[in-house]
Homo-oligomer: A and B are copies of this chain.
Amino acid sequence: MDRLPNSKHFDSTFKDLRELELFQAMSGENFERLMQGAYLQTFPPQVDLIAEGERSDFLHIVLAGSVELYAQWNNRETSMATVRPTSTFILAATVKDAPNLMSARTLEKSRIVLIPSPDIRAVFDLDCGFARAVVQELAQCYRSVIKNTKDLKFRTSIERLANYLLREQKRQNGQAQFTLPFDKKRLASLLAMRPENLSRAFRQLQDFGVQTQGARVEIQHQADLEALAKPSPLIDDPAS
């Protein structure tokens, strides 16, 4: 692993990090301190970064690529979320110094900053701006998970898929055509369904104007799909 100051890219990386909402309000001095202990690493795809149940040694920040959070129980595995640039993961475990509730692995080649958890907790005790920023980040995460719970408890698998497609379409700038960001097996797991049922669900969505070819999706009848999905800002709007 490279210590950040030794990296050829540390100037631009510093700037990227400093612009993160999480690090904007804190003092330059404390930011320096965090960066001095930090590592920058590029990981290939499918690399396990942290394991469920382990203590959180580092706060992770995804600068490029994407990371899957997943969990296991009773020999089963489920995908919990995807982390994309630029955001953190296992912040809650880090500030509580508690075991990770989820594992994480890279989905693609990813640039990740690792900041030692003790540094985070130490600076967090010193720097009010940072503490306040952590609150905003955690509140955001909390609300995301609540929305996900509502999605799971209220909707059938087809409704979950329909709403997922609408959200993904928005995230990719709202064009009728877009590409699924990962394979369908993982998508099925994320949506709490089996791959077989995801296939069947996609076929049922053809009646609502959704065409697929491999990972390519085209929403031909937006209104029909929305009538089926009944999206709600209190479930599907990432900002609200």
Contact = CB atoms under 8 A, between A and B. Distances in A.
Interface of A: 52-53, 71, 73-74, 76, 78, 80, 91-93, 95-96, 98-99, 101-102, 124-125, 128, 131-132, 134-136, 138-143, 145-150, 152-155, 192, 230, 232, 234-235, 240
Given A96-B140, A153-B78, A154-B73, A102 B146 contact: yes
Copy count, this protein chain: 2
A93 B71 CA distance: 27
A146 B95 contact: no
17 contacts: A78-B150, A91-B139, A92-B142, A93-B139, A95-B139, A99-B234, A102-B146, A124-B135, A128-B131, A131-B132, A131-B135, A135-B135, A138-B138, A138-B139, A138-B142, A145-B146, A148-B149
Given A99-B234, A142-B141, A240-B99, A73 B124 contact: no
A136 to B, nearest CB: 7
Contact of A53 (B52, B78, B124, B234): B234
A71 B147 CA distance: 10
Contacts of A92: 138-139, 142-143
B150 A98 contact: no
A74 B125 contact: no
A24 to B, nearest CB: 15
User: Which 4 pairs, one residue from A and one from B, show the smallest C-beta to C-beta distance?
Assistant: A128-B128, A92-B139, A138-B138, A131-B131
